[in-house]
Amino acid sequence: MINGERTISRPLRWGMIGGGRTGQVGYKHRTGALRDGTYQLLAGAFDLDAERGRDFGTKLGVAADRCYATYQELIAGEAGRPDGLEVVSIATPNFTHYEINKACLEAGLHVICEKPLFFTVAECEEIEKLANENGLIVGVTYGFTGHPLVHQMAAMVNKGMLGDIRIVDMQYTHGFNAGDDVGAGEAVRWRTNPKTAGPTFVLGDIGTHLYYLSEIVLPHMKIEKLLCDRKAFIPTRAPLEDHATVLMHYDNGARGRLWVSSVDAGNMGSQRYRFVGSKASVEWSDSRPDQLIYEVQGEPNRTLHHGMPYLEEESLAVDRMGALHTEGLGDSWSNIYLWIAQAIDAKNRGDEAFLKTHHYPGISAGTEGVRWLENCVRSADAGSAWVDFK
């Protein structure tokens, strides 16, 4: 169980680029980072609007002279200080990720970046090389993948409790873009423009969460082929999609399907996962994150609750709240930030042995998400044809 006791020798000197007052995801980063004494928020270039960013930063407790107008000023300003930053989180729109990652890594800063990491796998590989050459960690924040019941599913699959995995069924949909974009705010405008969002809208925005979570639960299974059908129900969003279906063939013969949509009118937002094996199935949804449905063929169905001693040790080890109290998204983000802090600490100490066995969403998690998106787009653009996964 995680209880807030510090697991690295000192807090990391941490800053943020983006995630300002009006940003959607910024607070989730701070919720995750400032929980276990592993990060100290010391500086930021929080906002495109420099004045608003400074005002916001000081209200978060950051010194005014360390609230910078741009990320370039942040890098230059912090480089000159004996107590300068060592790790930066990037919570800005997708099109800025690559250039900000590159600049931070070149300045010797570890990076924690939002998904989708970059636009292309080639960019991911270049950034991975740069990080490796400079001895730095790149972490990626897939929100719910720190949840104890996600790790319960992974442990159950790993221990053969479901038998051979046959079917993967996933959904992440909401209805918040069911109407058109007239008068839409900044976060919708950049998400629906290929110049700022990249080659996808909902596939990258929410589909990558499904894909990475399935990689955690099914690390032994690789996609061989996929077929993606995507559509913009609101025509102004084309060529980007607001709805997509993906079919997947895995190398063990399993079949997968998922759908992602932001035009699922009336749906307030839900991700749902069902992994079906030859003996049993598990099903988990973020609308009831404390519960895992475990169904064994021929037996009464069971509902497993987080934090209970009957769960696997892999799940109990990452539980924070204990069984009596609900555990959710903020707790999951804290686990992700903790694991990345432990990776940064190990990298700083040159402890490669620790890094070999330590689980955290690193650059390969970001790269695989971008690779999956590239394959989806290739399939969709070929008229929803099956394509070999490469």
Q: Is residue 139 near ligand NAI by the rule CB under 6 A? A: no
Tell me which of 143, 198, 207, 307 binds ligand NAI, using CB under 6 A: 143
Radius of gyration of the chain (CA): 21
Q: Is residue 315 near ligand NAI by the rule CB under 6 A? A: no
Q: Is residue 286 near ligand NAI by the rule CB under 6 A? A: no
Residue (92 or 152) nearer to ligand NAI, CB: 92
Residue (244 or 276) nearer to ligand NAI, CB: 244
Structure tokens at 46: 């929080």
Specify which residues 49 forms β-bridges with. Answer: none
Residue (115 or 320) nearer to ligand NAI, CB: 115
Tell me which of 47, 78, 128, 368 binds ligand NAI, using CB under 6 A: 47
Q: Is residue 96 near ligand NAI by the rule CB under 6 A? A: yes
Contact 96, 111 (CB under 8 A): no
What distance in Å separates the CA atoms of residue 324 and residue 41, rounded to the nearest whole number? 31
What distance in Å separates the CA atoms of residue 73 and residue 67, rounded to the nearest whole number? 9
Residue (25 or 232) nearer to ligand NAI, CB: 25
Q: Is residue 71 near ligand NAI by the rule CB under 6 A? A: yes
Q: In one letter, which amino acid is 299?
A: E
Binding mask 149-188 for ligand NAI (x = CB under 6 A): -------------------------------------xx-
Kindly state the number of chain residues that form the binding site for ligand NAI, as judged by CB under 6 A.
24
Specify which residues 282 forms β-bridges with. Answer: 275, 294
DSSP string of 315-354? Answer: HHTT--S-TTS---HHHHHHHHHHHHHHHHHHHHHT-HHH
What distance in Å separates the CA atoms of residue 194 and residue 231, rounded to the nearest whole number? 14
Q: Min. distance of Cβ 53 from ligand NAI in angstroms?
A: 7
Binding mask 4-33 for ligand NAI (x = CB under 6 A): -------------xxxx-xxxx--------
**Contact residues for 219 (Cβ-Cβ < 8 A; gap 6+):** 154
| Burial 187-217, CB ≥16 within 10 A → b, else e | ebebbbbeeebbbbbbbbbbbbbbbbbbbbb
Q: Is residue 45 near ligand NAI by the rule CB under 6 A? A: yes
Q: Is residue 78 near ligand NAI by the rule CB under 6 A? A: no
- DSSP state, 288? S
Residues that bind ligand NAI (CB under 6 A): 17-20, 22-25, 45, 47-48, 71, 91-94, 96, 114-115, 141, 143, 186-187, 205
